[in-house]
Amino acid sequence: MGRLRFLLYASGFSLGLCVLFSLQAFWVVHAKPDLTHINHDLYHSSENLMKEIKGLVHRHPNKLSLETVTSRNKGYQAEVAVVTYGRRRKENDDRSKYRILLSFGQHGRELITSELALRILSVLSGEHFLPNMDSDFLNSTLDKLIIKVVPMENLNGRELVESGDLCERRNGRGVDLNRNWSVDWGKKEEDFDPYEENPGIAPFSEPETQIMRKLALSFDPHIWVNVHSGMEALFMPYDHKNRTPDGVMSERMKSLLENVNLLHCHQRCMIGSGGGSVGYLAHGTATDFMYDIVNVPMAFTFEIYGDETASTKDCFKMFNPTDFGTFNRVLNDWSAAFLTVFKLAPQQIGEVPYKASVSKLEKWVSIDEYLDGYLMERSSRYGKKKEVFELGMQEIRTYFRLFLLSSVLLMFMFCSRISKGKSSRPIVSAIPL
């Protein structure tokens, strides 16, 4: 009996030890470093951010308006809110003003960018004042502008981040919205990360990108800024090449960025082409599309904050300020930087010789570009790309290719008959396809 009890105790003890060791081993394998979580005292939830924006629009109907665009593809739905700022909108012809398109939150984990969108809208509405802001000068600058702000381009991706997936940058079904555009789409570098940079199954496969493209083509902006975080940088095209474009406008873009760096980034910001500065080439980006296809004279990507000391797993800290002082400093510095862009960029664009823009317009646009959902009438640079109609991209491409193929076949048969009639030589060659 005593022996049996001893055996029972001994086996219980070894079982206990076994469980303890297993737990320890599990802890060693799965233990995570201390990760920073979203500080809700600083950051709005996406829902509350939209509430704040709706409140601003409601309080300033003479300056702000809001529309929400929805698009769906294969059971996946995306919603993009667009806020438009313009003074005395009804009195003025919008086409006589400079048009500015700003997008924030294209990557889910970069929450600080959407906070900046809200801050800029608060400044524009007159509810928030920046230090050293000359309101008379600001008013005269803003009189000439129509500004469209997309505060959260990737709402579905952001919701994943808010539910705890703090490293998620892609949209709600795993596609990187800054690789889903058509310029050099799908090209993969040696260091391509299929998780982070998934470009989707085709250019514009994602509803978010479709909405943004439609917005860009109809609004036809003079200035585009895609706002990101992860580092401090002021990028201009190209992302898919390691050089900047040629020409006068490229020089002016560079000079504008140097001014912003000096005035608002304390000379810390990296400046140059995205592809040449960031350390990797990026294919299928929004900014390259805006510059090359929409012919936006000044197209930029701003990276507004990054913490290089953060561990690579600590995504929230890598991409977002975590203390009140830095959070506010970033929002104030970059709101002021945008006001400088609003002031200087139109001056620079206004001096561009007319032909420089026209020559860009005249360039060849591929059939696929035309058939990517829109048929457009391009008449002049600063206006007029009318959407004629919209059709399913895949269907129209397929029909067009079938039509081409059958035309070639018919032509071949027709020519064969003529030459047969003339020489009565038998045709034995096959169609080279």
Distance between CA atoms of residues 261 and 235, nearest Å? 11
Q: Is-contact 235 274, C-beta < 8 A? A: yes
Binding segment for Zn ion (CB under 5 A), chosen from 57-65, 223-231, 277-285, 398-406, is 223-231
Distance between CA atoms of residues 389 and 294, nearest Å? 18
Smallest separation (angstroms) from Zn ion to the CB of 359: 32
Q: Is-contact 219 198, C-beta < 8 A? A: no
- Look at residues 334, 224, 225, 236 and name the one whose alpha carbon lies nearest to residue 276: 236
Smallest separation (angstroms) from Zn ion to the CB of 237: 17
Which position among 148, 158, 228, 385 is part of the footprint of Zn ion (CB under 5 A)? 228
CB contact set of 147 (below 8 Å; sequence gap of 6+)? 84, 85, 86, 99, 100, 101, 102, 124, 342
**DSSP-assigned states of every residue in 38-68:** P-TTTSPPHHHHHHHHHHHHHH-TTTEEEEE
Smallest separation (angstroms) from Zn ion to the CB of 327: 18
| Minimum CB distance to Zn ion smaller for 109 or for 381 | 109
Q: Is-contact 179 257, C-beta < 8 A? A: no
Distance between CA atoms of residues 220 and 117, nearest Å? 20
Q: In the annotation, is 251 catalytic?
A: no
Smallest separation (angstroms) from Zn ion to the CB of 226: 8
Footprint of Zn ion on 137-166 (CB under 5 A): none
Smallest separation (angstroms) from Zn ion to the CB of 298: 20
Helix (H, G, I), strand (E, B) or coil at 352: coil
| Minimum CB distance to Zn ion smaller for 227 or for 349 | 227
Distance between CA atoms of residues 42 and 44, nearest Å? 7
Size, binding site for Zn ion by CB under 5 A:
2
Q: Which of 303, 362, 377, 395 is labelled catalytic?
A: 303
Q: Is-contact 129 123, C-beta < 8 A? A: yes
Footprint of Zn ion on 88-117 (CB under 5 A): 107
Tokens of 418: 């003529």
In the sheet where 145-150 sits, what is the strand order?
Answer: 64-73, 76-86, 145-150, 98-104, 223-228, 298-305, 231-236, 270-273
Smallest separation (angstroms) from Zn ion to the CB of 306: 10
Q: Does residue 170 bind Zn ion (CB under 5 A)?
A: no
| Minimum CB distance to Zn ion smaller for 107 or for 119 | 107
Residues forming the site for Zn ion (CB under 5 A) = 107, 228
User: Which residues are identified as catalytic?
Assistant: 303
